[in-house]
Chain A
Amino acid sequence: MATNMNRRHLLRLGAFAAIGVTTGGALTACGDGDSGGDGVAELSMWTFLDPAGTDPRGKALKEIVDGFNASQSAAKVTVTSMNYAKIDGEVIRAANTGGGPDIVNIYTPQLAQHVEGGSIQEIDEYANDWLSEAGADYLFPIDSAKVDGKLMALPWESRVWLLWYRKDILDKYKVSAPTTLDEAIAAGAAIRKASGNKITGFAIGLSEQSLGADFMEKFDPFTAGFGGEIIGADGKAAFASAAGEQAMALIKKAADAGAMGREVLTMGADEVVNGVKAGTVAMAIEGSYRVASARSAEGVGDNLVTLPVPSTTAGKNMPTAVAGQTLAMGANTDHPEQVWAFMRYYLSAESQAKFAAAGVLPVLKSVYDSDAIAKAANATELLQWRDYLATDGKVSRFPADYSELSTNLVKAAQNMIFNGAAVPAALSEVQTQYNQKGK
């Protein structure tokens, strides 16, 4: 439709374009994988990592891309770095006008949105052989990268969510490390009280910012832990169930018991981690990928301990949400073969080891036995994370309208937790609204 409109106005706009050529300087097509004259496929890659900055992951990316470009002569990859919160919109917009990158980095929860937006294409025909060859060595629950049964991307990074606690703070308030979530809440309440409400004992961020992600990263696995799910197999919301109510009641208990106060209404994951760094958050459930950054703060270091998230019964773990960064193939690429070649290179044991050395949790089991991991200061911890992923990692469904759902859910959660809204009623309201809207 837009195309028609543009064609109609094209003539009138001709002059405008002509001025563009003279004043505007370089007119570059956007990421249209044009072949160079020498038969080298120019591939553009859009990712949230910055190869030019000081971040070790960005440097690892640069090494890998340089390595790929040097390893063969059929393709050359150039990286464009974009802000992680903006990249999805940019890719979808670009793809809808016939452009966009050949290779795009996508975070698993956003995959369905890209499929809906028509920005990526399925990679079954390329990846299936590789995956069956990798077999059990490929740790990541690959179903998370499937939309409507089709493989849309290849995860290259794993994330699990862990119970974080500041050992120094627990020691200071003479509280022992929790073995169940109830203990964690009790310990958190004791700390918050003893500190004169200055320290949040157990923080679950309830801010609407980042679409309520910090809340969903707990509500989802808790619900699973009680035997339910957020989105059922039929694509309908199913959290207004006994399991969903138990999960919400557990989070509410943390507030009612005094382990967290209204300050969590201003917190997203960023603020929770800031609190851990500053020593104003004693315990939280946060992602493995943020541990290194938190430990780098002065006075944190080894005082930050991680554990698989305990459940409400001792000796049993909560399931963990599993998410990760993936590589997907742009919808408009002219060189799918070369894109796949790059993906394979990116997922090779060598590349994975490079990322592992930069603090990324790999997706290949064998890489955990490599030097890169063995040399890491927290080698045992990394193996513990891997095992938690392998045994308790759960696949979540992230439909295309997940952002809207999670925003509505966190708003409802605020009301349930701090305004006394009835849990079953509030959950069913959001669920009904979602199930009606989608259809």
Chain B
Amino acid sequence: MTVNGDILQLEDVAKRFSVRRSPFAPRRSIRAVDGVNLTVRSGETLGLVGESGCGKSTLARLILKLHDVSTGRISFLGQQVHDARGRNLSRYRRQVQAVFQDPFSSLSPRMTAGQIVAEPMIVNGGLSSRETDERVADLFDKVGLNPAWMERYPHEFSGGQRQRIAIARGISLNPKLLVLDEPVSALDLSVRAQILNLLKDLQRNLGLSYLLISHDLPVVSRICTRIAVMYLGRIVEIGPAREIVANPRHPYTKALFSAVLPEHPRAHHQRIELEGEVPSPLDIPSGCRFRTRCPIAVERCEVEPPANLMINSDHMAECHFAIEKPNHGGELK
């Protein structure tokens, strides 16, 4: 499909959690991720956007093997990994690493910056302590930190520097894919631009692929190759970033992007209001899961779940009206 090929593939991946409201209530099943098909291509930045509770973090945890899938398949470079155990699992985990949002809680306060970066290498073994030290110094250099700071503790660093430590740790095992969960949301504007620049450099120099999870749509629009939009456990639209921003086809994507705050006080664009709140993943609506809030929903949406509608070979939207117009005349601006 592409010149570079796919690195990670998810086929019909689902994750259900079993919950009960009170100690004696019957167990019910939450469909947190509900039939996701997704590929990450080699060298790309795939943005995953959606609002709280849409399942994007659960999806990231499935990819990182912090959760096991309930059903479906995950494969990495052609190898099936969702049921990997033992040696295969460790090999997979070396190749897929993560950087999380909050550099204040994701770094252990009791370890020095050097120890934090070295830990994955020590766990994986194979390096002498001198080799490890050299590698840590090299990593510090790569992410723009002074190697002389290896002995310092996380609290001695600023937010941006901490995120650099987290990134150094993330790339310490030469992964192929980095899952970035809101990597710049907690950072100030000036630091945000620096970290985004660093991520770009690393991607180019190390041939990394990124899965970027974020609710910051302006950042996602600027740095992603493709964007996937998630709603209530499913990818409802995916395509090249430029197309998703300029010409979204799913009514939810349109509403989401219309809520982006203006760049200028005079730039007042029409916002698409969504009725009500996101339904509970305990009670996913029949048919199209977005229909309860959709401004163009018709009867058909209640009974028939929209199939993956391909707008072109690279752009999919799960909406009956992604291509044709609704026949009741309701038209989205």
Asked if A and B are interacting partners, one says: no
A residues within 8 Å of B by Cβ?
A: none
